[in-house]
Amino acid sequence: MLTSLVTALDRLSGANGLPAVVALAATSTTEDQARFLANAVEMLAAQQQTGAPLADVGASGTVVGRTQSGAPIVPGAVDYVARTERVAGFAGRPALQGTPGSVWMTGRMSPEAQRQFSALGWTVYQNVLPHWQR
């Protein structure tokens, strides 16, 4: 996991905030947590190389990239996201408002959760295959 994380961070060179990702990674207490974080950073690194360049990466509980225009990009190597109060709160976090953002998921989002994100101006990309699954 460490090699995967460091490689992805290297591919994000030029983006601000990378030390925060390292600090968050240091709090991982299980292999699952470390794998989730490494996969999220890998997804942002892929975005950096194929899409809009990232200006910033934040890691306050969740890894979030920001494009140069300020649009947040939230990666999620998850199978399914259901609509819960926590998910609803995340979608409406003041720190993520302003420029419309996007969620990139390896799995799917429930229709209700997707409606909620869409109502707040988010674009949801589902079934995104990271390079290691292609």
Mean pLDDT for all residues in the chain: 88
Over residues 92-120, the mean pLDDT reads 88
pTM for the structure as a whole: 0.86
Q: Is the pLDDT of residue 78 over 70?
A: yes
Residue 131: predicted pLDDT:
53
- pLDDT confidence band for 132 (50 / 70 / 90): very low
Query: Tokens representing 87?
Result: 């998910």
Predicted pLDDT at 134: 45
Long-range contacts of 32-35 (CB under 8 A, 24+ apart): 34/1, 34/2, 34/5, 35/1, 35/77
Side-chain-side CA neighbours of residue 77 (13 Å): 20
Residue 126 above 60 pLDDT? yes
In the chain, domain spans: 2-133
